[in-house]
Structure 1
Amino acid sequence: MSLQNLINQENDENYISLFNAINLLAKNSNIYDVAIYLLNKNIHIDLDSYKENYDCKIIQSSFTDIPNKTWSGDNFAHSLLKEIVDIEIEKLFPQTTISGFDRYSELSQSTYWDKKQFFSNSFIMRALNHKTNKNCGSTELQPESQLMQTKEVPLLYLNDIFSLVEASCILSNDNPILMNRCFNDTDFDQNYPSFNEAYNFLNSAIYAGKLSEPISSTQLKEYLSSKGRIIDGFNDQLKNEFTDQNSIIDQLKKENEKLKAELLEKEQKIKEMELIQTTENKSKLGSTRAENNVSKLILALSTQAKIDTSKPYAQYESLKTQAELLGIDKFPSDENVASWLKKANSQNPT
C-alpha cells in the first residue's frame, strides 16, 4: 500500500466525496434526480463544502450561514450539483452514476462533505431509505399513514438504514430531527443525557468494528439483541428466536449431562470388572501355587512309599486297597489319582 493510499484511507474516515455520495443516493434513481433533490433540500447549504488540496489535505472551502440560507467561500458542491442539473436535464436518459471518466468525475472526487454531518442529515437518510415502487418502476416514499397502519410503531423503527443519531434515538426514545437540530448546543449533554449515553454506546460499537455507519436495520437489531436490549416494535421479534435458541441449548446441556452420567456409570462398571478380573487372576495364581505344593508333597511321599509316579494308573488298585484298610470313604477315582500322580511326577527333577 502506498503512503498516498494511507492518506486517502484516513480522509475517507472523516469525509465522503460527492462522487461516492451521489452514486450512493442514485442507487435506485439517477444523478439528475439526486442533484435536484439535494438542491431542493438545501443540502449544499446545510453541509459545509470541503476541497482536496494539492497535498491531499481536506480543507473547508465554504462556510454555512443557515439563518440566511446562504454560504461564504467556494461552494464546490453547489457548483457540481448545478452543473449536473443543467447538463442532465437535456438528456432523454440521465446518467445513473458518475463514472471515473466522465465530465463530473474530477470535481466530484475532489469535493467533500463531512461524513458525520452527511449521515446525520435527515433528508439524506430519507433519501437512502427511498423505496422502489415495483408496479411502475419509479421510486417513491411510502406515505406515513400507510406505514403507521402497517405497524403501530414509530416510523423511525421502519427505516432500513440509520445514522448514528437515529440509531441513538431508538435507544433513548428521542426525536432524531430535534437531536440533529440541537446536537451542537452548549448544554446538549446536560439536556439530553439519555441520548448522549446511547450515542456514546453505539459510537463505541462502531469504533470496535461491531457496527458500521450508516447502520443497517438488521445489524442494529442483532447487535442490540446480543447486548440484551430488546425494544418493543423494533427487535422484539428476535427475542423469541433467542429464547428458542436458549431452549435448544438448555436441552443439549441436559442431554450432555445425562450422557456424562451414563459414561461415568459405565466407566465405574469397567473398573469393577477389571477389579474382579484382577482378583480372579490372583485367585488362579494362588490355586496354581497350592497345586504345585501338593504335587511336591505327593512326590515326596510316593518316593518314600516306593510308588512309581511315572506309572500313575498302575498304582491305583494298591492305593485303593490301602485306603479301604484305613477306612477312607469315597476314595478318588482312578482318573483323579492318576492326575495327581502325573502332577507329582512333573515335579520330579530327575
Structure 2
Amino acid sequence: MAYVNPSGEFSRDQRYIATRITADGRDGYPVEPGRYRLVVSRACPWANRAIIVRRLLGLEDALSMGVAGPTHDERSWSFDLDPDGRDPVLGIERLQQAYFARFPDYDKGITVPAIVDVPTGRVVTNDFAQITLDLSLEWAKHHRPGAPELYPAALRDEIDRVNKHVFADVNNGVYRAGFAGSQEAYEKAYHRLFDRLDQLSAHLAGHRYLVGDTITEADVRLFTTLVRFDAVYHGHFKCNRAKLSEMPVLWAYAKDLFQTPGFGDTIDFADIKRHYYEVHREINPTGIVPAGPDFSTWLGEHGRDRLGGRPFGDGTPPPPPRPGEEVPAGHGATG
C-alpha cells in the first residue's frame, strides 16, 4: 500500500461516509440499542477516540464493539483476533465486506472506526469526527448514570476551535511529517507540529484540561496522538525534536489522562507498534518492530492535581472495562 506522496506533501483523503445515526433517525438510521456495532482497531488513533468515548459514556450495552487486528493489507482491516477470524456478531472476515454490502463500488478508504448496521451487515458511517460527537449527543438517552458531558453546549465553540487546530497540526500533523515525500514538505510539517505542541504546552501549564475544568472531547482527541508519540511518531514518523517524555507539561498532562479510567485502560501499545512498523513498509521496509520504549513510565507521578479541575465534572468515573473488552495482558503499561 502506498502512503508517501512522492511529489511532496501528504494529503489525507477525508471523503468519509457522512450518514449519521441520530435520535430522530433523519438519515434512515435511528439510535436503537443493540442494532449497531462499532468496529475499531486498538492500533488506530482515530478509532481509539471512539473506544474512549463509548467507555466514558457507558454505552457498552447499547453499542457493541468489534475489534480488528493491528495490521491490514490493501483489502482492509481483518478480524484476525477472533478465534475463527470472523467477527462473532457480523460474521465477516474483513471490514471491507460491510462497506461493499452498502456500496458495491466503494473506492475510498476502508477505515476504522466504522459503525455497521447489524441486521443488514452494511456500514452506516466512518466519519470518525462526527461519530464521537453523536455518541455524546444523539445517544444521550442511553448513557450510564454519571456519564460526563464531553461536549457541553456552553463550551462547544471553544472545543471546536481547539479541535480544528489540534487536528490540522497534531493529529494529522504527525502523518504529514511521516508520509512527506520531500525534505521541504517534511520540515514544514515538522515545524508546524512542534509549534502547535509548544502552544498547547503553554496553555496546559496553567490549565489541567484543554477547555474548561473537566475532560472534554478536545482532550480525547489530543490524547490519542500523544499516547502514540514516543512509541511511533518520534522515530517512525521523524517527529524527533523531542520525545513526549522530554516535554514536561505535555508529558504530565498525558500521564494524568492515561491514569484516568477510560483512557489508559484502552491503550494497547503492542498493537500500536505492530500497526505502524509492520504496515508502513515504505518507511520501515524491514517491518521490524522496536522493543521499546518502557511503557511503565506512563504510571508515574504527574502532579496535575495541583491545577484543580474535576475530571468528570458532576459525573463519575466509568467502571472497569467489560470482560472481553480488556486490553490483553502484557500489551498495556504494566507488561
Per the shorter chain, which TM-score range?
A: under 0.3
When normalised by structure 2's length, the TM-score is 0.23
Q: Highest CA radius of gyration, 1 or 2?
A: 1
Name whichever structure is richer in helix by fraction: 1
Higher relative contact order (CA 8 A, sep 6+): 2
When normalised by structure 1's length, the TM-score is 0.22
